[in-house]
C-alpha cells in the first residue's frame, strides 16, 4: 500500500474553522485527520502541501518512520505550524491502518482500557449567577467535572486582569458552596494572568475551592510556573499549546503540573501523544486532553483516551449545537462520536469510526477568523 495523495480541507462549519485532512492510498483505503492551530489554518495548509510532496509513495503503515521523516528532514524542524500539519497526517495514517487491519485505532495503541470516556463540560456565563446556574444544570445532567470558562472580555475589547480576579474568585467560592464537595471544579484563565495575578486569585479563595487551575500564565518559561507553584497548592492543568514531547519535558520532569492538557491535533498526532502519555504516567501526571475542534479530533482523542492508563477527563461541549449551528455537522460528519450523558462510548468500528460526506465538506467555504486582540486600559496589548 502506498500514499497517493494528501488533501487539506480548510472549511468553516457552524461557528468555527476546521482543517480536515484526507490521506489516500493506491488500494482505495483513505484516512481522515484534523489539525489544530485555530486561526492559522492556512499556514498549516501550506506545510501539509510541502509534506505531501515527499510523502507520496510512502507506506502509510510506517507511521513512526514517517513522523521522523517529517520532523527530521528539514533544517527548521518542529514548531506549532509544522507539528499541527504532522498531527493531521499522523491521525489519518492511523485511521488508514485501522481500516486496513479491520480494527479500531485504540487497538493500535495497546488496546482499550475503558469502555467509556468521562468528560468535563464548561460554563460560559461571565457573571456569578449565570455561571452557577449553568454549573448546576451541568451537574443535574450528569457531569461530575465542570470547568468555569467565563467570558473575561469586556464589550470594548479591554481586559484588565486585576478587575476580574476578585469577582471571579468570589464566583468560584460561591459555586463551590452551591455545588458541594463531590463535584470537580476548575477554571481556565487562558494564560491571561501574570504570576502575581494568578497567585492573588488563588489566595482570595478558601483552600479546596478549585481542583485545577488551567493555563493561568503563558508557558514559555517553566521557571515562572515553578514560582507560581510555590505560591499556591491548586493543581495545574497545562499543555494545550505544546507541540512536542520536548515542550512537555520540563513540566513533567520538574513535577510542575498535575494534568496534561495534551492536544492530539497540535502535539504531533498519536505517535507523539503516546510518548507523552507514557512519560506522564511515570510521573503520575494524568491526561486531560484539549478538545475544542471538530468530530475528527474528538474521535481520535477518544481512541487515545481509551488506550492510556493515566486519564482524567476529556474536554467536550455539552452538545453539538454549542459548536455547530443548525445541525450542520450532521450533513458533513455522517458518523461521529455522540455523547451519552456525560461520557463518550468508545467506538469499535475500524479506524477512527468517522464517516464524512466529502461533497458536503467541499461545499463549506473557509472564513478568515482572527482571535480577539485584547488591550489593557493604557492601550497595551494583553493575552487573549
pLDDT tens figures, 107-149:
999 999 999 999 999 998 888 899 999 999 999 999 999 999 8
Q: How confident is the model at residue 152 (pLDDT cuts 50, 70, 90)?
A: low
- Asked whether the predicted pLDDT for residue 319 surpasses 60, the reply is no
Highest mean pLDDT among 47-56, 154-163, 324-333: 47-56
- Residues 289, 266 contacting (CB under 8 angstroms): no
pLDDT digits (tens, 9 = 90+) for 301-317: 999 999 999 999 999 97
Q: How many domains does the chain have?
A: 2
Our CA angle for 73, 76, 82, nearest 5°, is 80
Q: Which of 58, 83, 103 is the last residue of a domain?
A: 103
Q: Does the predicted TM-score (pTM) go above 0.85?
A: yes
- pLDDT computed for residue 75 by the predictor: 85
If asked whether residues 135 and 261 sit together in one domain, one would say: yes
- Asked whether the predicted pLDDT for residue 86 surpasses 60, the reply is yes
- Asked whether the predicted pLDDT for residue 20 surpasses 70, the reply is yes
- Asked whether the predicted pLDDT for residue 243 surpasses 80, the reply is yes
Q: What average pLDDT does the structure give for the chain?
A: 93
If asked whether residues 117 and 264 sit together in one domain, one would say: yes
Count other C-beta atoms under 10 Å from residue 8's C-beta.
Answer: 23
Over range 183-192, report the average pLDDT. Answer: 96
Q: Which of 82, 103, 124 is the last residue of a domain?
A: 103
Give me the CATH number covering residue 235: 3.20.20.120
H runs (alpha helix) in 102-244: 105-108, 128-140, 161-179, 195-203, 222-231
If asked whether residues 149 and 270 sit together in one domain, one would say: yes
List, in sequence order, every beta strand (DSSP E) within the chain. 3-13, 16-25, 30-35, 116-122, 145-148, 184-188, 212-214, 236-238, 259-260, 286-287, 314-315, 333-335, 343-345, 355-356
- Asked whether the predicted pLDDT for residue 155 surpasses 70, the reply is no
If asked whether residues 144 and 57 sit together in one domain, one would say: no
Residue-level length of the chain: 384
Amino acid at each position: 500500500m502506498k500514499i497517493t495523495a494528501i488533501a487539506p480541507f480548510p472549511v468553516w462549519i457552524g461557528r468555527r474553522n476546521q482543517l480536515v485532512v484526507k490521506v489516500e492510498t493506491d488500494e482505495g483505503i483513505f484516512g481522515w485527520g484534523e489539525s489544530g492551530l485555530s486561526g492559522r489554518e492556512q499556514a498549516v495548509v501550506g506545510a501539509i502541501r510541502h509534506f505531501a510532496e515527499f510523502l507520496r509513495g510512502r507506506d502509510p503503515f510506517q507511521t513512526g518512520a514517517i513522523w521522523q521523516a517529517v520532523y527530521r528532514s528539514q533544517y527548521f524542524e518542529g514548531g506549532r505550524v509544522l507539528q499541527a500539519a504532522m498531527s493531521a497526517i499522523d491521525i489519518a495514517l492511523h485511521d488508514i491502518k485501522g481500516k486496513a487491519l479491520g480494527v479500531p485505532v485504540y487497538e493500535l495503541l495497546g488496546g482499550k482500557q475503558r469502555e467509556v470516556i468521562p468528560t468535563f463540560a464548561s460554563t460560559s456565563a461571565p457573571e456569578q449567577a449565570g455561571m452557577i446556574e449553568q454549573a448546576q444544570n451541568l451537574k443535574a445532567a450528569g457531569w461530575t467535572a465542570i470547568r468555569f470558562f467565563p467570558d473575561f472580555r469586556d464589550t470594548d475589547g479591554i481586559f484588565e486582569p486585576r478587575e476580574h480576579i476578585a469577582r471571579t474568585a468570589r464566583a468560584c467560592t460561591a459555586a463551590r458552596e452551591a455545588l458541594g464537595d463531590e463535584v470537580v471544579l476548575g477554571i481556565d484563565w487562558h494564560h491571561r494572568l501574570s504570576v502575581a495575578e494568578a497567585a492573588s486569585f488563588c489566595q482570595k479563595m478558601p483552600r479546596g475551592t478549585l481542583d485545577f487551575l488551567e493555563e493561568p500564565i503563558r508557558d514559555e518559561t517553566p521557571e515562572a510556573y515553578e514560582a507560581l507553584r510555590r505560591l499556591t497548592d491548586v493543581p495545574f492543568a497545562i499543555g494545550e499549546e505544546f507541540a512536542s514531547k520536548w515542550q512537555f519535558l520540563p513540566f513533567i520532569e520538574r513535577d510542575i503540573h498535575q494534568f496534561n492538557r495534551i492536544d492530539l491535533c497540535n502535539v504531533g498526532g498519536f505517535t507523539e501523544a503516546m510518548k507523552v502519555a507514557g512519560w506522564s504516567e511515570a510521573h503520575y501526571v494524568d491526561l486531560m486532553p484539549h478538545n475544542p475542534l471538530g468530530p475528527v479530533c474528538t474521535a481520535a482523542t477518544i481512541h487515545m483516551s481509551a488506550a492510556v492508563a493515566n486519564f482524567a477527563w476529556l474536554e467536550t461541549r455539552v452538545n453539538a449545537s454549542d459548536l455547530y449551528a443548525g445541525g450542520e455537522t450532521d450533513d458533513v460528519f455522517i458518523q461521529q462520536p455522540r455523547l451519552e450523558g456525560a461520557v463518550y462510548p468508545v467506538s469499535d468500528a475500524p479506524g477512527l469510526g468517522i464517516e464524512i460526506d466529502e461533497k458536503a465538506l467541499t461545499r463549506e467555504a473557509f472564513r478568515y477568523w482572527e482571535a480577539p486582540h485584547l488591550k489593557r486600559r493604557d492601550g497595551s496589548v494583553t493575552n487573549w
